[in-house]
Amino acid sequence: MSARKAAVLFFLALAGVAALYLVIACAQVSAVPLLDPDEPRYAACGRTMARGGSLLVPEFNGQPRINKPPLFYWLVALSDKLAGEATETSARAPSIVMGLAMLLATVFLGRRVFGTRTGVLAGLILASTPLFIGLSRACITDMTLSACMTATLALLMLAMLDLTPPRRTTWLAALCFGLALLAKATPAFAVLLVLLVERALALPPEERPRAARLLPWLFLAACILSGVALHVAGTKADTVLKAASLVCVAAVLVLVILMAVRAPRGALAAMPWGWGLAAAVAMCLWWYGALIVKLGWQEFFGLVSYETVGRVTGEMHREPMYYYLFHILALAFPWSVGLLGAVGTAWRATQNSHPARQDELPTETAETGSGRPGTWRAADRFLLAWLIGIVLFFSIPSAKLATYILPAMPALALLTARLLVRMADGKRAPGQLWRKLTLLPGVIVPVALVVTSHNLAVLPTDFQSFTATLPIPFQTLILQFALAVAGSWLLVHLGRPCAGTVILSLSVVVLTLVLLPAANKHYLMRRSTKPLCLRVTPLIADCQRVASVGAEVESLSYYLDRTVAECRRRHVVQRRAGSRTHFDHTLPPVTEDESYDAVVREEMAAPEKVLLFVHKRYYTRMLDINNAEFDAMTREDIARTAPPYARFVDAYNDLVVIHNRP
């Protein structure tokens, strides 16, 4: 095949991958409301900037929001400006664009290093990975951060493989790394751990310290200790176990650093990585310096403590260290069926110290891949380090969310594509063990899906109601998907990786497009107050104050386009003994810790007109009833429960809206 024809076919395939991505990313993007709590925060900050607010200090709900650098807010503001108004689509457009950039970077990296087939397959895999699909259409910073980190690591990989000029590529990588720091700050430093792991893996096995054998056991001990600590949270044992788990992880990091230092520098010797790192840090550091000048050292120190020490100790989103080891199977499904095989095969290749072995010689030409003996082995090592480094970095802090490991998905896609291509090539076929570890899940998982779909009674009632709203019977939908999973992996084992990948990626797209509208109506709409805000907006024109008690203020503030005062006081928890209702004006004056309706009564006593959003858990305590009784109430029943000093306005999901009497 001529080079020109090969290039045309590649760009046609690339267009197909991009179209597949855009179909999923843009489906229902304006119909799905901004979801509490994160999306409305970022969207509101960007909208405020677009309207002339400070570009230096993002503001949400009338307050500075400085726990994230401003890059993503700037992108949302620019999108709102270009769109002419702030909408769900304009707020999510930056993530859609960044997702496309991340996808294209993955495809071009795969093509440059391994060949056209591997690059295109990796693109199809990434575009149909659940975590990537979900975050490509979310107004949060993760996709922007991940796209910048992907560009950084892709450039460094090309430079370290000597496929691009090292100096120029390093400065481009430094620029992308600086943008990653400006998107989310500390998480971007996972790039440095990836490089350390890569250098540690580059050290020949015979030169590694004997203590290196302890690495998996130290990490396993850290995982076990962190898991046990979570079960005794709040006790002295919790503190001791958390400290012990961190000591084990610190030992892991020390060993990795020692191995990285002892490894040959290779291409690093020609790369100005020190100056590049300094330039990248400076791109973000100026903003923190400006914050200190504008807001003061005390507020800045509180921010740094919260974002570093607070996340390491688990003051929010606390999970054990093994959290991602299991969640990655769901986040990357159905491609995680081949995860063990992909990682094991790449690991075996990187441990081969004989570059000229026949099973590692490229079979593609230099037109479609690197075409150099030994380059693919080094590339496999870098991809392994990319995956291990990201997962390890985000496993160390106790604060964890599934979204954090999105930067690892390009490496996972490329490793999986490598496995698929290897399985079709007899010279580089993976060992029988890794083939079986791919074949068995490819059979067991589809069977489990079909069995579960025919036993919905064991699933939550809410999920059963959701399946009843689908346009296609749920059992039929899952049967088709299960057959696609099993059939696709079977095709891979029969040496047809392209056909298997196309079928499986298209099946994920179809499943997503079928489930998304029903999920929006049944689940996602509940994660936002948009319907309620649209109903009450005409009623608040003359309200001097809008407040909430126990309710998320994020989507309220965005969709009402007002500052919403959060009036909940966590120390107002003591119930008045023997009193069935708290609306009796003959009761003595309310003190802060006397009854649940203290804050509500205080707001309703204000001289100005106040609209108050009360969460169900507070409202039921005021009525002295349980949640089940409240859920059984009709709208008219809820209206009759309004206290005598307030008027009922509306109710939606877990919120009751009242205003004070004139």
Q: Tell me: the pLDDT tens digits for 62-76?
A: 888 888 899 999 999
67-81, 269-283, 451-465: range with lowest mean pLDDT? 451-465
Identity of the amino acid at 194: V
Q: What is the pLDDT of residues 218-250, one digit of tens each?
A: 999 999 999 898 888 878 888 899 889 999 999
SS (H, E, C) 2-62: CHHHHHHHHHHHHHHHHHHHHHHHHCCCCCCCCCCCHHHHHHHHHHHHHCCCCCCCCEECC
What are the tokens at 437? 């570890």
Domain match, 246 and 368 both: no
pTM: 0.89
- Average pLDDT of the chain? 85
d(CA 80, CA 47): 7
Residue corresponding to tokens 């309620």: 532
Domain match, 143 and 274 both: yes
* 396 SS3 class: coil
- The mean per-residue pLDDT over the stretch 415-439 comes to 79
d(CA 66, CA 56): 9
Residue corresponding to tokens 């081949």: 338
Domain match, 127 and 25 both: yes
Domain match, 282 and 425 both: yes
Q: What is the pLDDT of residues 638-660, one digit of tens each?
A: 888 888 888 899 988 889 999 98
Domain match, 163 and 56 both: yes
Domain match, 500 and 624 both: no
- When pLDDT is cut at 50, 70 and 90, the band that residue 367 belongs to is very low
CA quadruple 451, 457, 462, 468: dihedral positive or negative?
A: positive
Q: What is the pLDDT of residues 385-411, one digit of tens each?
A: 999 999 999 999 888 889 999 999 999
pLDDT(96) > 80: yes
Other C-beta atoms lying within 10 Å of the C-beta of residue 93: 23
Residue corresponding to tokens 């990585």: 273
Domain match, 584 and 535 both: yes
Domain match, 165 and 282 both: yes
354-368, 397-411, 438-452, 627-641: range with lowest mean pLDDT? 354-368
Q: Of the candidates 352, 364, 381, which has an alpha carbon nearest to the alpha carbon of residue 266?
A: 381
d(CA 380, CA 347): 8
Domain match, 153 and 218 both: no
d(CA 47, CA 70): 13
Domain match, 352 and 308 both: yes
Can you list the positions of beta strands (E) in 541-603?
545-549, 564-566
For residue 37, cis peptide bond before it (omega within 30 degrees of 0): yes
d(CA 578, CA 96): 56
Spell out a b/e string for 164-193, using b for 16 or more CB atoms within 10 Å of the CB, else e: bebeebbbbbbbbbbbbbbbbbebbebbeb
What are the tokens at 554? 């994020």
Q: What is the pLDDT of residue 360?
A: 40
Q: What is the pLDDT of residues 281-291, one digit of tens each?
A: 999 989 888 88
d(CA 533, CA 567): 19
Q: What is the pLDDT of residue 623?
A: 79
CA quadruple 425, 429, 432, 433: dihedral positive or negative?
A: negative
Q: What is the pLDDT of residues 106-132, one digit of tens each?
A: 999 999 999 999 999 999 999 999 999
Domain match, 601 and 475 both: no
The last residue of one of the domains, among 441, 470, 504, is 441
For residues 565 and 602, the answer to whether their CB atoms sit within 8 Å is no
d(CA 42, CA 143): 13
In the chain, the N- to C-terminal Cα span, in Å, equals 82
Q: Of the candidates 187, 176, 108, which has an alpha carbon nearest to the alpha carbon of residue 148?
A: 176
For residues 140 and 95, the answer to whether their CB atoms sit within 8 Å is yes
How many domains, the chain? 4
Q: What is the pLDDT of residue 352?
A: 60
d(CA 333, CA 339): 10
Q: What is the pLDDT of residue 498?
A: 92
Domain match, 198 and 298 both: yes
The last residue of one of the domains, among 507, 524, 541, is 524
Percent of the chain scored above 70 by pLDDT? 89
d(CA 656, CA 652): 7
Parent domain of 465 = 442-524
pLDDT(280) > 80: yes
The last residue of one of the domains, among 409, 425, 441, is 441
* 272 SS3 class: coil
Angle value at C-alpha 304, between 302 and 305, nearest 5 degrees: 65
Could you give the maximum distance between any two Cα atoms of the chain, in Å? 92
Q: What is the pLDDT of residue 148?
A: 97
pLDDT(364) > 60: no
